[in-house]
Amino acid sequence: MELDIKGVVNLLRNKEIKMHIIFMVLVLIIGTSINYYINKTSVLITFICILCVVLISLAFTRLRYIKIAELSQYLKRISSGEYSLDIRDNDEGELSILKSEIYKVTVTLAEQAKMLKNDKRFLADSISNISHQLKTPITSMFVMTDLIRDENLPQDKRIEFTQNIHSQLERLQWLVSSLLKLSKIDAGTIEFKKEKVEVKNLIDRSTEHLLIPMEIKGQSLEINGDENVSFIGDLYWSSEAIANIVKNCVEHTPEGGILLISFSETSIFTMIEISDNGEGIHKEDLPYIFNRFYKGKNAHNDSIGIGLAMSKSIIESQGGSIEVSTRDIKGTLFKIKFYKSIV
């Protein structure tokens, strides 16, 4: 009883409910008065009928008020993070429509919360990996710097340590530069150009700075394809992607090895294939080879594991795709496709 009285009191605090009650009471008084002058014997019956209508109307209003209060509690629980709640029903009416719309918003919030949680986990893992990548060369440089301070250190060792420090600084510079590029790609702040890119020119530009390392290892490079093959994309960023893949092949191909780059074009896509006759990639490493900071079983000690990840991001940001496989004989094959726009 106390709950009913409390509910009625709360109901009467609503301005719209007050106006509704006043209106119904006026209707009751006016209807009874008119009926009194027309037919005095039916005044009581009319009064009872109109009173019943007023009470039924108030009951429905009270029920509606309770359902709105339930919605309010539901929204409070959602705001506290309970996204698994489902308030939908199979009824018809404005409240049911409102419940369905609120549920849709809840599902959206749940998805966004999940994405945010994944982003936080990814950020934490990335920071941990970056810290590890920075710690190793910095520690090495500290040690070599302390050794160089020794006045009794032979000159040849001093030169060797200085060169090692320079190499570590170059490695750090490349790491920081790559991470900045990746962060810009992830944030969507890079506007990739949409211009005609001739694949032959792209390959020449991508491999130019790798010719000397290849010559040192006695490796040969074969390029096959029609010079008219092209696609619509960004020459600068595409060169960055191709260069990282070719660099990976150079590092994992032995002295005297062969690298083959071929390209072709169909009505649907332009394809670039980059292969080598190196040691290949273990099958268990293939699903993760494009993950950031991932190092396979054949990775070198100074490998960072970010070059292929950046290549994948650049290619996919231009609507392309990349896949990798280990050939039956020996070596690795990368297939890159740049799809043509459908007008």
pLDDT per residue as tens digits for the range 296-318: 766 666 666 788 888 999 999 99
Give the C-alpha separation, 340 to 343, whole Å.
9
Cβ 231 vs Cβ 192: under 8 Å: no
The torsion angle over the Cα atoms of residues 145, 146, 152 and 158, rounded to 10 degrees, is -20
Helix (H, G, I), strand (E, B) or coil at 48: helix
Cα-to-chain-centroid distance, residue 67: 38
Q: Would you tell me the crossing angle of helices 307-317 and 155-187 to the nearest 10 degrees?
A: 30
- Every domain of the chain with CATH number 1.10.287 lies at 125-187
Q: What pLDDT score does 320 carry? A: 93
> pLDDT digit string (tens) for 76-114?
777 777 666 666 666 665 666 777 777 777 778 778 878
Q: What pLDDT score does 151 carry? A: 82
Q: What pLDDT score does 90 carry? A: 65
Tokens at residue 194, please?
């949409």
* Residues of the chain falling short of pLDDT 50: 1-3, 343
Helix (H, G, I), strand (E, B) or coil at 289: coil
Q: Say which CATH topology domain 195-339 has.
A: Heat Shock Protein 90 (3.30.565)
- Every domain of the chain with CATH number 3.30.565.10 lies at 195-339
Predicted TM-score (pTM) of this structure? 0.62
Q: Say which CATH topology domain 125-187 has.
A: Helix Hairpins (1.10.287)
Tokens at residue 262, please?
């071929």
**How many Cα atoms sit within 13 Å of 224 on the Cβ side?**
7
Cβ 251 vs Cβ 244: under 8 Å: no
Residue with tokens 């549920």: 103
Q: What pLDDT score does 340 carry? A: 86
Q: Would you tell me the crossing angle of helices 199-207 and 235-251 to the nearest 10 degrees?
A: 50
